[in-house]
Chains A and B, each alone.
Chain A
Amino acid sequence: NAGVMQNPRHLVRRRGQEARLRCSPMKGHSHVYWYRQLPEEGLKFMVYLQKENIIDESGMPKERFSAEFPKEGPSILRIQQVVRGDSAAYFCASSRQGMNTEAFFGQGTRLTVV
C-alpha cells in the first residue's frame, strides 16, 4: 500500500509563474489536508478537502492560492504569480476520517521561487 505521494519533490519557479503541487492520498483515504512549512517554523494549516468539496480553507491566503480534490485524480494546490515569500515546503496529509484519526503525511514539495 503506497503512502501519500507528492510530486514534484522539488519545484523551482521564477517570480510571476504558476506552481502546481500534486498530492495522491493513500488508497481508501478521502480526506486531504495541505500544510505549509516556512524555514525554521512549524507547519501551518492551509486547507482541508474531501472529494469535490472544500471543507475548511481558513488557512489559505486570500489571493493567488487555490486547491481542489476532484472526484478522480490527485489533489492539486495551485499558486498563481508566485513571489519569493511563497518559497516553502508544502506537505499533504491524508486520512480516512479526519486528522483525529491516523493521518499520513507525504514527503512534501519544496518550492523555491527565484
Chain B
Amino acid sequence: AQSVTQLGSHVSVSEGALVLLRCNYSSSVPPYLFWYVQYPNQGLQLLLKYTSAATLVKGINGFEAEFKKSETSFHLTKPSAHMSDAAEYFCAVSRAGNEKLTFGTGTRLTIIP
C-alpha cells in the first residue's frame, strides 16, 4: 500500500521568505509523486510531478521539488513567497502503472505581509 505524510498542517512564512512544505511517502514500487495546490472553494491544480526522470522537478509559479529516494521525501520549495501563494497544498503518490492517487492531508500555507 502507498501512503503520504505531510508534516505540518499549517505553515506560515513571511512574504519574500523561503517556502518549504514537507512530504514523505511510502511505496513498495517506484512512485510517481505529485504536488497540487487548492485555492479556497476551487479544485486542485497540478504544480509539478515526478515520474522517474530528473530528481529535481520544476513546476509552475516558481515552485520546485526534489525527489530523494534515500529519505523517501519529495519536499516542495519556493525561494521567495508571494501573497498569492496562500493556499492549501497537497502531496500525492501513485504507483507506476496504477491509476489512482493517494493524497496527504494537506498543508495550509499562510503568507505574512
Contact = CB atoms under 8 A, between A and B. Distances in A.
A4 B95 CA distance: 24
Most buried by A among B100, B102, B103: B100
A59 B99 CA distance: 13
Contacts of A107: 41-43
Interface string A84-105: 0000000101000011101111
Chain A contact-residue range equals 20 to 34
B43 A105 contact: yes
A33 B100 contact: yes
Interface residues of B, number: 22
B90 A103 contact: no
Nearest to B102: A45
A100 B44 contact: no
B99 A100 contact: yes
A25 interface: no
Given A43-B90, A55-B99, 7 more contacts: A42-B106, A44-B103, A56-B99, A58-B100, A100-B99, A106-B43, A107-B41
Interface of A: 4, 31, 33, 35, 40-45, 48, 55-56, 58-59, 91, 93, 98-100, 102-108, 110
Interface of B: 32, 36, 41-46, 51, 90, 92, 94, 96-97, 99-106
